[in-house]
Structure 1
Amino acid sequence: MSVLPDPGASRAVLIGTSRYDHLEQLPAVSNNLTDLAVLLSGPLSLRMPAPHVTVVENPPDAGAVMDSLRQAAAEATDTLLVYYAGHGLIDPHDALALAMPHTQPDRIETSLNYDWLRQILLDSCAQRHIVLLDCCYSGLALGRMSAPQGLADHAAVEGTFLLAASAETRTALAPVGDTHTAFTGALLDTLRHGVPGGPPLLDLETVYLHLRRTLEARAHPVPQARNRNSGARVAMGRNHADLPAAPVTAAAGPEQPDHRPWPDPSAISTVTGFFTNLAAVREVSGLTQQEVSRRSAGRISTGTISRLVNLDTLPATWTTTAAYLSACGVPDDQIQQWHGAWQELRRHASATQEPRTGTPDGGTAEAGKARRRLSALWRGRGH
């Protein structure tokens, strides 16, 4: 079963090098970083709080990257996403290295050894890892990117889904004048527009297969993927090609089961995750705020709905949230699950609630304990 990460307990580190002293320039990488960061923080993808997405662009040395990775790995208890775009090198020992601005091809110690990054992933407290590598090989002309065969094998990590750009050298992966590199551009388009006929959640396997078809149709090299421990089931967002195009006019009855992909309360472990999923409920319902208000029989106004999904602290009472969920058409048994999540987070609010300053909270030991208690709660109810 596909699962969306809890944004409050997840972190992303986006690394990219667009300017080089000794290698060909890759100006599109800068756009990759900017647009991917915005997407991960927005409603089209994981809705991660902006402080949970760290961008490391043109780092002065490998140490600057490692510091950001260590911090994110220490804070993430749900999902840790690491992205790199730039030149990829293979050292004399056949190990993958990621080029930094001052990297020299004949001095591999000036690069970031992927094994260092890999070790941080192995030591991370996160349950799941996503690694996206839009790597290139040095020495090609401006506008051409490549990677050696077996890149995904070099970078595989247990408990991780790895998605890497193609190994082929014959096709341009960073066409001159394009806004993005070909691989990342296709990834951004997939997350923004969805996959027609695809599943409700854009799990990594679906994303990979769609990218493969898309890039192959464009005569671009196709990506590689490696999956460890069901990492392919982690979702990068909802499938926006699958969401209702018009408001739902009738709730499912006893003889019409509700198969809509409602957010899963059992995946919620932080206050941020609670409100992110609460906002997603209305998207899945296909209803406008006005429709939700009307269906609530006057119990909640459009202004109340807007305020509810934009809170940063849990409401003191359950009544308004229950009315909102019911008006959206969420089945009664799932509303009870939502109530259980609200109660659990209320009991542990001091450990799981993000302060207004954006100080991360998802990486605390108490947050991990809260998640385990929630999981036990759902298992006890037969979910």
Structure 2
Amino acid sequence: MSVLPDPGASRAVLVGTSSYQYLEQLPAVSANLQALAGLLCGPLSLQLPGGHVSVVENPGAARTVVRAVRQAAAEATDTLLVYFAGHGLVDAQDALSLALPYTEFGRVETGLPYDWLRQVLLLDSRAERHVVILDCCYSGLALGRMSGRTGLADQAVVEGSFLLAAAAETRTALAPVGATYTAFTGALLDTLRQGIPGGPTLLDLGFLYRHLRLTLEARGHPVPQARDRNSGAQVALARNHAELPAVPVAAAAGAAVRERPWPDPAAIRTSTGFFTALADVRVVSGLTQQAVSRRSAGRISAGSVGRLLNRTDLPATWETTAAYLSACGVPEDQITLWQHVWQQLRTADALADAEIPAAAPGTVSEKERRQRPFPVFRRGGISDRVRQKPRRRTDGAS
């Protein structure tokens, strides 16, 4: 069964090299990173909090990337997504190496061996699921082009994950000159933004791979590869926005309402995930906030709907949430599941608060520290400023 990750318990690390000292430049990679970060944080995809997405562009040293992935691996308990775009190389042992700004052909110490990241995912990650997306090949042949050969997916696969790789065989034109994005990432972005007419409710990785394979092959681009371990193909990166119900629940028959693609409360792990799924309920219902209020028979106002969906802390009582779910058309048996999740999260929060020691005057409490966004990894290490949302990098390679 396909499932959307809980955004509060998931992390993403997006790595890319667009500026090279010794290899061909890949300016589209910078646009890849910014667009993908914005999409993962926005309503068309996973709706990750801004602090849960780390963008590492043009890292000057391999340790910068490893540090970012290791931190995300330690924090994520649901899904960890790792993305790389740039040149890829093959060393003397036929192992994959990711090219950094100062990578040179034949000098293995100047790149980032993929196996380093793979070991972090295997040994240090707390996440139940891993998604690895590699938009790279083995060497640059001309300006704005990357070359590839078979075997990338086999080298990069991690147990308990889904590996999606753009490289296939010995073809070029993965980064067409003048294009905003590289070919593979551009197709991925388009699919997540627009959806797939006639496709499933959730765009899981298995379906995305098959769609991208057909799309890129039809365009004459290299055919992507994929490897699935332990049902990783069922992880969804977005709802299929081309297939959202067009008829509001108020005008739909009972059976049609029950069959709607309601968010699954069983996938909720955190308060962030609770409110993200709660907002998705209204999207699936096709109702406005005013319509939800009218259908509640006065139990919840339009303003209360807005306040409920914009909360960050769980409500102390269940009545308003129950009225909202019922007015949206969620079946009663599913509302019972929602209430069970709400109770579990309330209990977990209470236990966590009881374990947090009081802070000394003038210091930051442990609870406040936990709620702070993650720092941004830059090429020289961790930035002193805390990142609130993805933004464009303007500095060059160090």
TM norm structure 1: 0.90
In the alignment, the residues of structure 2 paired with residue 187 and residue 28 of structure 1 have an alpha-carbon distance, to the nearest angstrom, of: 14
The correspondence of residues 343-354 of structure 1 with structure 2, limited to 5 A, is: 343-350=343-350
* 1:172 match: secondary structure: coil
Shift of 1:316: 1.0
1:241 maps to which residue? 242
1:39 maps to which residue? 39
2:56 maps to which residue? 56
Whether the aligned pair in 2 keeps the contact of 1:148 and 1:167 (CA below 8 Å) is yes
2:220 maps to which residue? 219
Q: Which runs of 5+ in 1 are unaligned?
A: 362-383
Q: C-alpha offsets along residues 23-55 of structure 1, whole Å, 9 cap, x if unaligned?
A: 000000000000100100111000110100000
In the alignment, the residues of structure 2 paired with residue 358 and residue 148 of structure 1 have an alpha-carbon distance, to the nearest angstrom, of: 44
* 1:199 match: secondary structure: coil
Shift of 1:256: 5.7
Q: C-alpha offsets along residues 327-356 of structure 1, whole Å, 9 cap, x if unaligned?
A: 110000000100001111111115779859
1:170 maps to which residue? 171
1:13 maps to which residue? 13
Shift of 1:286: 1.3
In the alignment, the residues of structure 1 paired with residue 239 and residue 11 of structure 2 have an alpha-carbon distance, to the nearest angstrom, of: 18
* 1:241 match: secondary structure: helix
The correspondence of residues 288-327 of structure 1 with structure 2, limited to 5 A, is: 288-327=288-327
1:108 maps to which residue? 108
Q: C-alpha offsets along residues 157-206 of structure 1, whole Å, 9 cap, x if unaligned?
A: 11010000032443411111111000000000111111111110011001
Q: C-alpha offsets along residues 250-303 of structure 1, whole Å, 9 cap, x if unaligned?
A: 3543x6671111111111110000001000001111112121111111222222
Task: Give the AA of the match of 1:226.
Answer: R
Tell me whether 1:70 sits opposite 2:70 in the alignment. yes
More contact order relative to length (CA 8 Å, sep ≥ 6): 2
Shift of 1:217: 1.1
2:193 maps to which residue? 192
Number of residue equivalences? 360
- Call closer, same or farther: CA 1:351–1:240 in 2, change over 3 Å: farther
* 1:22 match: secondary structure: coil
Whether the aligned pair in 2 keeps the contact of 1:195 and 1:240 (CA below 8 Å) is yes
In the alignment, the residues of structure 1 paired with residue 80 and residue 52 of structure 2 have an alpha-carbon distance, to the nearest angstrom, of: 10
Whether the aligned pair in 1 keeps the contact of 2:195 and 2:240 (CA below 8 Å) is yes
Task: Give the AA of the match of 1:151.
Answer: L
Task: Give the AA of the match of 1:338.
Answer: W
In the alignment, the residues of structure 1 paired with residue 22 and residue 303 of structure 2 have an alpha-carbon distance, to the nearest angstrom, of: 56
In the alignment, the residues of structure 1 paired with residue 291 and residue 368 of structure 2 have an alpha-carbon distance, to the nearest angstrom, of: 32
Q: Which stretch shows the higher mean deviation, 75-84 or 243-252?
A: 243-252
* 1:348 match: secondary structure: helix
* 1:326 match: secondary structure: helix
Tell me whether 1:359 sits opposite 2:372 in the alignment. yes
Shift of 1:93: 0.3
2:377 maps to which residue? none
1:278 maps to which residue? 278
Task: Give the AA of the match of 1:87.
Answer: H
Tell me whether 1:121 sits opposite 2:121 in the alignment. yes
1:181 maps to which residue? 182
In the alignment, the residues of structure 1 paired with residue 309 and residue 352 of structure 2 have an alpha-carbon distance, to the nearest angstrom, of: 17
- Call closer, same or farther: CA 1:360–1:267 in 2, change over 3 Å: farther
Task: Give the AA of the match of 2:155.
Answer: H
* 1:300 match: secondary structure: coil
Whether the aligned pair in 2 keeps the contact of 1:51 and 1:358 (CA below 8 Å) is no
Task: Give the AA of the match of 1:166.
Answer: A
Whether the aligned pair in 2 keeps the contact of 1:270 and 1:352 (CA below 8 Å) is no
Task: Give the AA of the match of 1:162.
Answer: L
Q: C-alpha offsets along residues 122-175 of structure 1, whole Å, 9 cap, x if unaligned?
A: 021110000000003324101212222111001011101000003244341111
2:24 maps to which residue? 24
- Call closer, same or farther: CA 1:100–1:131 in 2, change over 3 Å: same
Whether the aligned pair in 2 keeps the contact of 1:318 and 1:339 (CA below 8 Å) is yes
Task: Give the AA of the match of 1:154.
Answer: Q
TM norm structure 2: 0.87
Note the aligned Cα RMSD (angstroms).
Answer: 1.8
- Call closer, same or farther: CA 1:23–1:265 in 2, change over 3 Å: same
* 2:249 match: secondary structure: coil
Overall identity of the aligned pairs, in %? 70
- Call closer, same or farther: CA 1:247–1:6 in 2, change over 3 Å: same
Task: Give the AA of the match of 1:15.
Answer: V
